[in-house]
Structure 1
Amino acid sequence: MADRLNDYPTEARADYVFGCMASNGQSSDTLRRCACSIDVIASIVPYEKYVEAETVLSLQLVGGERMSIFRTSALTKERVAVLRRAQAEADILCF
């Protein structure tokens, strides 16, 4: 478990926290809550799976027929669902 918590690079954690703070406010309380959130996500989702899900989510924003696979594939839906569940748990525990 400790290995999984530490398999997220600092850059990825910082990127998540910056995005979280941009969405939730720029206070020290928000910083603490956002840091808690990525820690919870890291305890649930291995970094490799996190990257896959984030990639799918960003590709879903791209229009066009070729990108439809990222909106309809059962595998990609499952990857995103795992991340969404981890984010929901993080919201409950941290916010």
Structure 2
Amino acid sequence: MRVKNLGRVLIISAAALVAAGAAAIGEECIDKTAAQHANDYPTVTRADYIYGCMLANGQTRDVLEKCSCSIDVIATALPFKEYEEAETVMSVRQRGGESVAFLYAPAMQEKIKNLKRAQVEGEIRCF
């Protein structure tokens, strides 16, 4: 009887260890994905954002730190591909005219809204 109980205890313990290991691996994958997400922005894109931010907010060391913090927050909230698409849509829409009418479609509007939400989050956290 004791051998049966010991076997059950060992099986349950092994299952718990496997589950804990799987959870730890899952958390590690999530952390790596978030880190990759935040680091997939090219340096020139980050620099361009910071440059524009500093032109709008002042050219001091304090503003430099706040602007770089802001792009870091945006990078964690929005994958680079989505950031790039929204920036492109906003840039092309400035031309105006009939040729850019499709850029006012709901799907394009949503891309811009997502970028603006990320920018607001950056301003709230950093400024």
With structure 2 as the length reference, what TM-score do the two structures score? 0.73
**1:6 aligned to 18, 39, 43, which one?**
39
Q: Which has the higher contact order (CA 8 A, sep 6+)?
A: 1
| Structure 1 residue runs without a partner (length 5+) | none
2: CA distance between counterparts of 1:2 and 1:25? 30
Root-mean-square deviation (CA), in Å? 0.6
Structure 1 residue ranges (4+ consecutive) displaced by more than 3 angstroms after TM superposition: none
Corresponding position of 1:86? 118
The structure in which a higher percent of residues are helix is: 2
**CA apart distance, 1:66:** 1.1
Deviations 1:28-55 (A, max 9, x none): 0000000000000000000000000000
In the alignment, which residue of structure 2 is the partner of 1:27? 60
Unaligned runs of 5+ in 2: 1-33
Higher Rg: 2
User: How many aligned residue pairs are there?
Assistant: 94
Superposed CA offset, 1:34-90 (max 9, x none)? 00000000000000000000000001111211111112x011000000000000111
Residue 89 of structure 2: aligned partner:
56
